Amino acid sequence: MTQMPPIDACCKTDIGLQRTQNEDVCAVNKELNFFMVADGMGGAAEGDLASTFFLTATETIFTAEPATKPATLKDRFDACFASPDTETKNQQQAQELNRIKDKIYACFATANNTIQEHIKEFPSHAGMGCTAELITFFAQHYVIGHVGDSRSYLLSGNTSLKQLTKDHNLVQDQVDNGVIKEQQSKNSILKNVLTRAVGVTPHLEVDIVSGQTQPGDIFLLCSDGLYNMVSSKEIKAVLVFDAPLDLKAQILVNMANDNGGRDNTSVTLVQIQQAATVS
């Protein structure tokens, strides 16, 4: 059974000031080792149900797999006397990474198929779907699954806030193709036109982002309701603030509403804790 680093996590979701329903879903599940945000789309076409389908699919897939548990003091003590050689350890980590990637793909594929089948049964719900961010951990590594224009960020060492994912929308395509500059994209109406979402097409391409973690790292998963209302500079200022994680999440949601609250806002925060030392 693979060990996950000790973590703290929380999530907050809010309807905002201008929407009549909340189509976002966020979840923190330390026992199953997954953390997510999904932003439903479709309005009357049941966008909130699409987000719920994604959460249900994730719970199902992660429940079917052996759970990843936090490392205990005994685990770390035993590791000191039974460490595999570097090559063997790298092979094991590569195998585990591939297994976790397959599990994340399965979450997205299952949700995608569920939404597609639902639309066949209820044609009036055509157009429903969701964007989604899903993160899980093993050893000193993170793995993220990403589809749509929700985002995952990493604050490392209280210094830099890095966007780990790339938006799947027309304006990002324009930036990638050199049609417009990054700064111009912020006010483009094309940022609302998605090029990828869960449930929209029979085949779904999923971006996988992975890397190593360090104690103190804070991962932020959020719907576009946050970053469209709150700048990266403001987000970073909240994350470096010396406060409990759940308070930081609430402050971010409040800031989105204070700045207009044009959309639902969801925030999931995960912080890597300092492992206890074995003496």
The model's pTM: 0.90
Instruction: Reply yes or no on whether the pLDDT at 185 is more than 90.
Output: no
Work out the pLDDT band at 1, boundaries 50, 70, 90.
very low
Average pLDDT over residues 189-207: 94
User: Please, are residues 46 and 114 in contact by the beta-carbon 8 Å criterion?
Assistant: no
- Cα 147 to chain centroid distance, Å, stands at 9
pLDDT in tens, 71-89: 554 454 454 455 567 777 7
The per-residue pLDDT for range 17-74, each reduced to its tens digit, is 999 999 999 999 999 999 999 999 986 678 999 999 999 999 999 999 755 555 554 4
List of residues 6+ apart from 182 with CB closer than 8 A: 175
Grouping H, G, I as helix, E, B as strand and the rest as coil, residue 255 is helix
Task: Give the pLDDT confidence score for residue 194 in this predicted structure.
Answer: 96
Average pLDDT of the residues of the chain? 90
H/E stretch holding 267: strand 265-272
Taken in order 236, 240, 242, 248, the sign of the CA dihedral is positive
257: left (phi > 0), else alpha (psi -120 to 50), else beta? alpha
For residue 198, list its beta bridge partners: 130
**Residue pair 271/220 in contact by the 8 Å Cβ criterion:** no
Q: For 238-259, what is the mean pLDDT? A: 98
pLDDT-based confidence at residue 192 (cuts at 50, 70, 90):
confident
CA distance 145 to 109: 11
Assigned token pair, 177: 């193709």
- Which pLDDT score, from 0 to 100, does residue 66 have? 58
Per residue in 95-141, pLDDT tens? 999 999 999 999 999 999 999 999 999 999 999 999 999 999 999 99
Domains parsed from the chain with CATH numbers = 3-272 (3.60.40.10)
